[in-house]
């Protein structure tokens, strides 16, 4: 006959197990808490804290972009929120103008919408992507024109720009087998052969260089000038075009990937910067002083949980001017002032301005 253990023995044994488990959980929670505290308290800015500061522009949900929107010299910062559009001066963050949106623009603003100045008026450009229409509309939602030469599918991109610096915006588009330039009325002025892809970036004409229209498609990066002449066709194994940068010795493509590189149209690499163990996903030229050669502002991402994103600013000479760990991936926005100085904004959940102290 098996004897049953006394009730108090069972209770005692259960208490021992329970307290042991609680002790384990407590030690585990303490370990996690210490790790979180160490993560929170570790330095976020690794270089440049003495030269740069971060200012919060807005924490409200909104869409942001930069460009020449008010007709005055220099770029503006545009913030679209709650059916309204606010234009701010990038240097001071002062509001210059507030405009109401109408029609479905008020309730269905998309990040792919781009503001542009067209014949003295501010318009909205549906830049396309996927099955979205490519068209131009007034702020009240009225359509001026749309571009859809193929009845089956819309253009893959439609980008406004004034590359010939005549004060009138033109448009650059990609369709199934061509890159296209359109005038202010949406009429084609030239076509150039191009496989399926999209416009990545543009750069205006200067005294030294012709305008650049940069597109990426099917592993090929193509650059045309303002007249539609193909200037280069590049195949970059582990890189993709992100922006255009002008230095005293030439104009280059800024490409991201295992490193950020400045690549000439003949394929020569004039600059290279690596963030160890990370992939460069965004890059912009950044002029920190009038007349000075622009630095490179970049965002890199890593697979490691403790090293997820980095923001860096690097000079042409390879000097690290700023380095910060980030917990979310930002989009880099730059605004060129009438003084020739660029202002850098980090577009994420909140909009932040990263600027040199004392400016």
Instruction: Report pLDDT for 168.
Output: 87
Kindly report, residue by residue over 229-257, the tens digit of the pLDDT. Answer: 999 999 988 889 999 999 999 999 999 99
Instruction: Report pLDDT for 130.
Output: 74
| The token pair that represents 8 in the structure block | 């108090």
Kindly report, residue by residue over 139-150, the tens digit of the pLDDT. Answer: 999 999 999 998
Helices vs strands, H then E, count in the chain: 2, 29
* 8 Å CB contact between 310 and 299: yes
Rg (alpha carbons) of the chain, rounded to whole number: 26
**What distances in angstroms separate CA 217 from CA 222, 241, 256, 263, one per listed residue?**
8, 11, 16, 18
Label residue 7 by pLDDT band (50, 70, 90): low
Label residue 195 by pLDDT band (50, 70, 90): confident
**What distances in angstroms separate CA 351 from CA 108, 148, 191, 268, one per listed residue?**
21, 35, 38, 36
Is the per-residue pLDDT at 135 higher than 50?
yes
Is the per-residue pLDDT at 33 higher than 90?
no
Is the per-residue pLDDT at 338 higher than 70?
yes
Distance CA 347, CA 88 (A): 15
Distance CA 177, CA 215 (A): 12
Instruction: Report pLDDT for 238.
Output: 84
Helix (H) or strand (E) run with residue 26 in it: helix 7-41
Instruction: Report pLDDT for 79.
Output: 97
Instruction: Report pLDDT for 165.
Output: 84
Question: What share of the chain has pLDDT > 90, as a percent?
Answer: 73
Is the per-residue pLDDT at 93 higher than 60?
yes
Contacts of 158 by beta carbon, 8 Å cutoff, 6+ apart: 125, 126, 127, 128, 134, 135, 147, 171, 172, 173, 199
Label residue 34 by pLDDT band (50, 70, 90): very low
Pairing of the two strands 113-118 and 239-247: unpaired
Locus of tokens 């030294």: 208
The chain-wide mean pLDDT, for the chain, equals 88
Instruction: Report pLDDT for 305.
Output: 54
Instruction: Report pLDDT for 306.
Output: 57
The three-state secondary structure class of 298 is strand
Residues 295-311, mean pLDDT to the nearest whole number:
85
Locus of tokens 């280059």: 252
Reference 278, options 320, 325, 317, 315; nearest CA is: 325
- The whole-angstrom distance between residue 21's C-alpha and the CA centroid of its chain comes to 49
Instruction: Report pLDDT for 6.
Output: 56
Is the per-residue pLDDT at 226 higher than 80?
yes
Instruction: Locate the domains of the chain by residue range.
Output: 45-63+238-359, 101-235
Instruction: Report pLDDT for 167.
Output: 82
Is the per-residue pLDDT at 24 higher than 90?
no
| The token pair that represents 156 in the structure block | 């893959």
Is the per-residue pLDDT at 5 higher than 70?
no
**What distances in angstroms separate CA 234 from CA 24, 70, 191, 222, one per listed residue?**
59, 36, 20, 6
Label residue 196 by pLDDT band (50, 70, 90): confident
- On the CB side of 301, how many CA atoms lie within 13 Å of its CA? 10
- On the CB side of 1, how many CA atoms lie within 13 Å of its CA? 2
Helix (H) or strand (E) run with residue 192 in it: strand 188-193
Instruction: Report pLDDT for 82.
Output: 87
Kindly report, residue by residue over 97-128, the tens digit of the pLDDT. Answer: 999 999 999 988 999 999 999 999 999 999 99
Instruction: Report pLDDT for 16.
Output: 44
The three-state secondary structure class of 148 is coil
The three-state secondary structure class of 63 is strand
**What distances in angstroms separate CA 45 from CA 19, 40, 236, one per listed residue?**
43, 12, 32
Instruction: Report pLDDT for 225.
Output: 97
Reference 331, options 308, 306, 351, 356; nearest CA is: 351
Pairing of the two strands 342-347 and 212-217: unpaired
| Residue range 101-235, CATH number | 2.130.10.10
Label residue 138 by pLDDT band (50, 70, 90): very high
What one-character-per-residue DSSP string does 195-245 give? -S-EEEEEE---SSS--EEEEEETTEEEEE-TTS-EEEEE--SSEEEEEEE
* 8 Å CB contact between 213 and 202: yes
């Amino acid at each position: 006959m098996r004897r049953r253990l006394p009730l108090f023995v069972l209770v005692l044994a259960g208490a021992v197990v329970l307290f042991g488990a609680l002790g384990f959980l407590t030690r585990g929670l303490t370990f996690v808490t210490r790790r979180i505290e160490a993560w929170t308290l570790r330095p976020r800015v690794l270089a440049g804290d003495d030269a740069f500061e971060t200012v919060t522009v807005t924490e409200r949900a909104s869409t942001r972009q930069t460009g020449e929107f008010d007709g005055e010299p220099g770029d503006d910062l545009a913030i679209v929120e709650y059916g309204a559009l606010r234009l701010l001066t990038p240097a001071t963050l002062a509001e210059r103008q507030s405009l109401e949106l109408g029609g479905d623009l008020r309730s269905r603003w998309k990040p792919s919408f781009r503001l542009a100045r067209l014949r003295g008026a501010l318009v909205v450009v549906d830049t396309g992507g996927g099955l979205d229409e490519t068209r131009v509309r007034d702020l009240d939602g009225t359509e001026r024109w749309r571009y859809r030469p193929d009845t089956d599918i819309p253009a893959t991109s439609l980008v406004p720009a004034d590359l010939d610096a005549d004060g009138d915006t033109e448009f650059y588009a990609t369709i199934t087998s061509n890159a296209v330039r359109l005038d202010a009325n949406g009429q084609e002025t030239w076509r150039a052969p191009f496989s399926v892809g999209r416009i990545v970036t543009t750069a205006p004409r200067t005294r030294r260089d012709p305008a650049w229209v940069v597109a990426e498609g099917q592993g090929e990066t193509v650059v045309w000038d303002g007249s539609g002449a193909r200037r280069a066709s590049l195949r970059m194994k582990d890189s993709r075009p992100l922006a255009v940068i002008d230095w005293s010795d030439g104009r280059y493509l800024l490409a991201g990937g295992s490193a950020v590189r400045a690549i000439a149209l003949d394929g020569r690499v004039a600059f290279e910067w690596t963030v160890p163990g990370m992939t460069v996903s965004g890059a912009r030229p950044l002029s920190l002083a009038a007349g000075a050669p622009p630095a490179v502002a970049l965002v890199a991402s890593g697979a490691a949980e403790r090293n997820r994103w980095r923001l860096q600013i690097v000079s042409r000479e390879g000097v690290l001017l700023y380095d910060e760990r980030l917990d979310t991936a930002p989009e880099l926005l730059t605004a060129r002032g009438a003084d020739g100085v660029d202002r850098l904004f980090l577009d994420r959940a909140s909009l932040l301005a990263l600027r040199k102290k004392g400016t």
